[in-house]
Structure 1
Amino acid sequence: MAMQSLLIILVVLAALLILGVPIAYAIGISALAAILQTVPLDVSVVTGAQRIFVGMSKFSLTAIPFFILAGNLMNQGGIAKRLVDFVMALLGRTPGALLVTNIGANALFGAISGSAAAAAAAVGSMVEQGEREQGYDPALCAATNGASAPAGLLIPPSNALITYSLAAGGVSVAGLFLAGYVPGVIWTLACMAAAVFFAFRKGYRGTRGGFDWKNLGMCTLRALPSLSLIVVVIGGIVGGVFTATEGSAIAVVYALVLGLCYRNITLRSFWNIVVESTRMSGMIVFLIGVSNILGWVMAFTQIPQAISAALLGLTSSPVVILLIMNVILLIAGTFMDVTPAILIFTPLFLPVVRSFGMDPIQFGLILVYNLCIGNITPPVGNTLFVAIKVGRSSLSGVMPYMLGYYLVILLGLLLLTYVPVVSLGLPRLAGLL
């Protein structure tokens, strides 16, 4: 019955997505279709409504709308230019300085805003004019901007990691946040290495002259209030001063005060930010509620156990099983957004990795890392297409460079998958494991 239910879910879900049905409705309808083979229609509908309510009534969900609002406030708060100036002052002498600056600023801005697409749009717009003036290849610039933007989704505070915590049944958010730093840095450094390689081949040079410590000091002071958001929120959560939910509310207050001090947020823009954040939060929370039906159906029909038995039946090697999972997640990530993919694949694969002793925190980072790659991979690849638009380039021009970035990013994925200390080192040092 398990495999039959899984087949129904996949077929119905794929058909509805092809027809253009919103992902939340598609997930709910496919789950109900699977359960109808064993439960009457009236019972399944009532059960589905109950599971949506249960899924949406978790107090920890409050953190997601708050972090979204904080991110949107920071997007409008004038911090992108300060971060670009800071990274440029720090790394300006590196070959291909503007490319490296783009990557570093994307990591910082994406972590603060919680959106890879927002980072690609904001930071890409800031460096685009300078890159053109210095004769940089627009396709290379767009590829660099798109490839590096998802690093911020791994560096906390991260809505993707909060969503995974909920889908995994309450995995420590503080542990996930700490675990995200090293993979996020690996992604960033991998992109920087590829950018420097491309810069050498193109003959791009960094700024000349000695290191300007005075300029670095001024740029650091201007960027410090924005960077402090990460320190305040994550430090408080990890240190046990406040919970992730309380930290998200503090992030909103901090971002609002910062935006007002920078004089980039007016009453009208604040209202627009609240409306947009409410719309986005409603979609995500409803999606989480509907996915709770899918989780219940999977548990009822024992789909995770069947998948685990099937994978373990193919091979007993955790190395091979993890490789198969990565391939599946990479493919799925090319046509699914991060949030629904987390909600679908967590209950499928988490029991499998737990069967051979993998920590749920490590699997959560592997899952999010895979889906971040999908964020910059056609045919969906929202962040990649934002970068192409901002960089005034084309997909055909960008893809040759993207292949180089994919290579180094995938090497980071292998490191994260097969070397547990990459994700678990910091949580262990902090005593969270």
Structure 2
Amino acid sequence: MTFIFILLVLLAIMLYLGVPVAISLFLSATALLLMLDIPLVVAVQRMSAGVNVFTLMAIPLFILAGELMTQAGIARRLVNLSDSTLGAAPGGLGQVTILSSMLFGAVSGSALASASAMGSAIGPEMRKRGFDADYTVNVSTTASITGLLIPPSHNMIIFATAAGTGISIGDLFLGGVVPGILTGLTLMVVAAVVATRRGYPRGEFPGFRELLRTAASAVPGILTAIIILVGILAGIFTPTESAAIACAYTLVIGVFLYRELDRTRLRSAFVNSARTTIMVMFIIATASLFGWVLAVLQAPAQLAQMLAPAMTSPLLTLLLIALMLLLLGTFMDMAPLILITTPIFLPIATQVGMDPVQFGVMLMLALGIGLLTPPVGSVLFVGCAAQGLRVGQALRTIWPFYFALLFSLLLVIMMPSLSLWLPGQFG
């Protein structure tokens, strides 16, 4: 237990000092290796093994597909479709932002990309129509979390890798659909209530002809997620192959159909995706080393022993796990937390009767809420930067949206059918 305490203290100190998460994980883990007289070559071996997984090849391809979709104008077309559909609802553009985030999440699988795209695409128009900056940030950032649940989500692939064999990525993708939609609808209710109390304007319904026009323009982009999901479920291709097909499909519609992917935009997409991939894979490598050190120190067994008194009540055990995930998410990024916490908490959750697919959905949502919570809160920082708003100003009014996300998390924990019904229909 002493070594576990030292490991966590070293990590906390470095994070407090502002050391990047990946470097903090690496330095704290190698320090423990030195204390345990384990050769440092083991660190290189474990990091190499952590990224030498075939399934992880899908991640850079999904990241590239998301960048291509952004550069191809898919985000703008999804916004137009959402505006035609929900612009006249209470909250107007607030509802449009949430629906657009759900649709964009279904083709990008990234909360950060969704928050950035929606903030830049809808934010200026919301300000122009009289919506306050804090409302714009609150809606766009919290709605982006739906992209972690609605497939395809590369974080689901990371979870499947951390969980080991026996968990179908197709089942994980399907398991996130209903909770993702439910989360979006819950946020819509809150957005409508807040907008009504503040007296924000509604738009006007443009007519069925305009609705059909915008839908026809957005369908090719939405088909990306459908092709991926159907292909995986039907066994036509693997998740890695589906990511490659998504890239090829997006290139075709971006160059030949939408005609917006010129040389400059293509270069930007490749450069941005390469930069993001390097960061993600380095974090995965160092988190794998950190997780291995925790396993050597028998942290999962010791934590299970600590939770043993509460494990008489399965619901209480799951709530405690969710609470710990929420707390951890406030100071660490999502990818390393998935790799570190999955081997620790998944066995405990399954021991009290939770299905691994349900656990994966709970993990995505709980850690997604962490992306909105300082001191890390990367999605919240991106959303605030896009609107020129200080984080403190957004935090003063974001609480109703936080509670909506927490309500969805409770439903995922207490109602397994939300995550398991759809995978069961295709099982």
Please give the per-residue CA displacement for 1:352-410, whole angstroms capped at 9, x wherever unaligned. 11222211111111111011111112222222222223234333432343111111111
Letter in 2 for 1:102: T
In the TM superposition, residue 246 of structure 1 has moved relative to its aligned partner by 0.6
Alignment of 1:221-236 (within 5 A): 221-236=216-231
Alignment of 1:28-427 (within 5 A): 28-38=26-36, 40-41=37-38, 43=39, 45-170=40-165, 171-208=167-204, 212-261=207-256, 262-427=258-423
Please give the per-residue CA displacement for 1:228-269, whole angstroms capped at 9, x wherever unaligned. 001001111112111101101101101111221323222243
Letter in 2 for 1:245: T
SS in structure 2 opposite 1:150?
Answer: helix
Q: What is the CA–CA distance in structure 2 between the aligned matches of 1:265 and 1:79, rounded to whole Å?
A: 11
Runs of 4 or more above 6 Å deviation: none
User: Do 2:129 and 2:201's aligned partners in 1 also have CA atoms closer than 8 Å?
Assistant: no
User: Do 1:305 and 1:351's aligned partners in 2 also have CA atoms closer than 8 Å?
Assistant: no
Letter in 2 for 1:357: G
Q: What is the CA–CA distance in structure 2 between the aligned matches of 1:93 and 1:288, rounded to whole Å?
A: 44
Deviates more, 1:118-127 or 1:91-100: 118-127
Letter in 1 for 2:119: G
C-alpha distance 214-414 of structure 1, shift in aligned 2 (>3 A): same
Q: What is the CA–CA distance in structure 2 between the aligned matches of 1:272 and 1:84, rounded to whole Å?
A: 22
In the TM superposition, residue 308 of structure 1 has moved relative to its aligned partner by 0.8
Q: What is the CA–CA distance in structure 1 between the aligned matches of 2:336 and 2:369, rounded to whole Å?
A: 15
User: Do 2:150 and 2:180's aligned partners in 1 also have CA atoms closer than 8 Å?
Assistant: yes
Please give the per-residue CA displacement for 1:103-160, whole angstroms capped at 9, x wherever unaligned. 1101111331232222222222222333233322222122111221121121111111
User: Do 1:8 and 1:33's aligned partners in 2 also have CA atoms closer than 8 Å?
Assistant: no
Q: What is the CA–CA distance in structure 1 between the aligned matches of 2:66 and 2:204, rounded to whole Å?
A: 36
RMSD of aligned Cα (Å): 1.8
Equivalent residue number for residue 6 of structure 2? 8
In the TM superposition, residue 340 of structure 1 has moved relative to its aligned partner by 1.1
TM-score normalised by structure 1 residue count? 0.93
Q: How many residues align?
A: 425
Deviates more, 1:57-66 or 1:278-287: 278-287
C-alpha distance 175-315 of structure 1, shift in aligned 2 (>3 A): closer
Equivalent residue number for residue 22 of structure 2? 24
TM-score normalised by structure 2 residue count? 0.94
Please give the per-residue CA displacement for 1:400-425, whole angstroms capped at 9, x wherever unaligned. 43111111111100000111111111
SS in structure 2 opposite 1:156?
Answer: coil
In the TM superposition, residue 29 of structure 1 has moved relative to its aligned partner by 2.9
User: Do 1:164 and 1:346's aligned partners in 2 also have CA atoms closer than 8 Å?
Assistant: yes
In the TM superposition, residue 36 of structure 1 has moved relative to its aligned partner by 4.0
SS in structure 1 opposite 2:11?
Answer: helix
In the TM superposition, residue 208 of structure 1 has moved relative to its aligned partner by 4.3
